[in-house]
Amino acid sequence: MADATAPSATSLPPGSSTGATAPLDEVMLAMDVVDTLRHAERLVERELSAEQREADLKNRLREIYRSQGIDVSDSALDEGVAALREERFAYRPSAPGLARSLALLWVQRSTWLRPLSAAFMALLLGLGAYWAFWKLPEQHRLTQEKTELVAQLPNRISAEFNRIAALALDKSVLPEAERLKTEGEAAAKAGDLQGARAKADELLRLRTTLEQTYVIRVVSSPKQRSGVFRIPKANPNARNYYLIVEAIGPDGQALPVLVNSEEDGRAERVTQWGVRVGQDQYDRIRLDKQDDGIIQGNRVGEKRKGYRQPDYSVPVLGGAILDW
């Protein structure tokens, strides 16, 4: 059945696909037929699944279009029915993958771009405020403190050296004090705050040692050991004897004294330590304590002001221990 209103230009035969030679209105009609068939789902299910001729379906479609005042050519109806069967105009989503995910993310950017931008701006503002109101002032304060300390340290180093020079009756400490003074001033001049402060602290410890006065006596409490001996690892047949002593200040209280251990090289400030002596001195103290529990001759040395090392009144062999 021919349609007098249909264009006379090349009509598409039934079942053929829309090509470059098909008139635009024929293609559009075919697509509209497919859309009509999709929306008339019950009609499609009844007509296309039944064993009737396609002519009945096309007649029904033609009546639908005529009721709307539209004349549709047979070629357009044939093309629409064929296109529906072939799902030619059906939408097929792309397979899942990175490209699809990125495309969906871009299409939906209006839902996430604004909140993300707001969060990013808030982060930038927070970092800027942190830097402006805390970090920069803190850096400025530390820089000022360092500048002041570096400027003050040479004066502190020089003052400590002058005190040592005036205090030292043991002149053998002066070369060491001069070395510490030179190294500390050089570090301060170079801006090495840590190095300059370390040299100043060493000078302070040296001055403190020179200022100390105390007597050295053997520990004589019944609950404490007054002497010990060690068997050296290098010579299992030998014994090293030590008296356990303490430093007592002018007020009668024990003072911390810097002692170097000959066993492991440690240097610590302690109130009691072991000083190495010969076996004769060890036996003398042992027998003295065994006699009545009291050591009459427990004073074995004295540290005088202005000297680094104490003077011992008994022969000592120069070694010391910190543990027993």
Q: What is the pLDDT of residues 61-100, one digit of tens each?
A: 788 888 888 877 878 877 777 776 666 666 667 678 888 7
CA dist 44 to 80, 81, 226, Å? 12, 10, 114
pLDDT band of residue 297 (cuts 50, 70, 90) is confident
The predicted structure's pLDDT at residue 261 = 94
Q: How far is CA 176 from CA 94, 159, 207, 210, 224, in A?
A: 84, 15, 12, 13, 38
Per-residue CA distances from 299 to 201, 244, 292 (Å): 32, 12, 17
User: Vertex 98, ends 94 and 99: CA angle to 5°?
Assistant: 55
Q: Is the pTM of this model over 0.75?
A: no
Residue 9's pLDDT band (cuts 50, 70, 90):
very low
CA separation for the pair 30, 180 (Å, rounded): 101
The residue whose two tokens read 């990175």 is 98
Give residue 315's pLDDT band: very low, low, confident or very high (50, 70, 90).
very high
What are the pLDDT digits (tens) for 11-57? 334 444 444 444 556 667 666 776 776 665 455 555 555 445 567 77
Residues 129-137 have a mean pLDDT of 81
Q: Compute, in degrees rounded to 10, the torsion defined by CA atoms 209, 212, 217, 221.
A: -100
Determine the pLDDT at residue 105. Answer: 82
Flag whether pLDDT at 155 surpasses 60: yes
Q: Rounded to whole angstroms, how far apart are CA atoms 111 and 313? A: 92
pLDDT digits (tens, 9 = 90+) for 167-197: 999 999 999 999 999 999 999 888 888 899 9
What proportions of the chain, in percent to the nearest 5, are helix, strand and coil?
55, 15, 35
Q: Are 273 and 263 in contact (CB under 8 A)?
A: no
DSSP character for 288? Answer: H
Report residue 96 as tokens: 């899942």
Q: What is the pLDDT of residue 50?
A: 47
pLDDT of residue 19: 43
Between 274 and 137, the higher pLDDT residue = 274
CA distance 198 to 36: 93
pLDDT of amino acid 184: 94
Q: 148 vs 130, 143, 171, 287, CA distance in Å?
A: 26, 9, 33, 61
Model pLDDT for residues 215-263, shown as the tens digit of each residue = 999 998 888 899 999 998 888 889 999 999 999 999 999 999 989 999 8
The predicted pLDDT at position 3 comes to 42
Task: Enter the tokens of residue 25.
Answer: 């209105």
Look at residues 37, 14, 44, 38 and name the one whose alpha carbon lies nearest to residue 26.
14
Question: Which comes out higher in pLDDT, residue 149 or 248?
Answer: 248
Which range in 32-41, 103-112, 119-128 is most confidently predicted, on average pLDDT? 119-128
Q: In a 3-state reduction of DSSP, which class is residue 94?
A: coil
According to DSSP, the residues that pair with 303 across neighbouring strands are 214
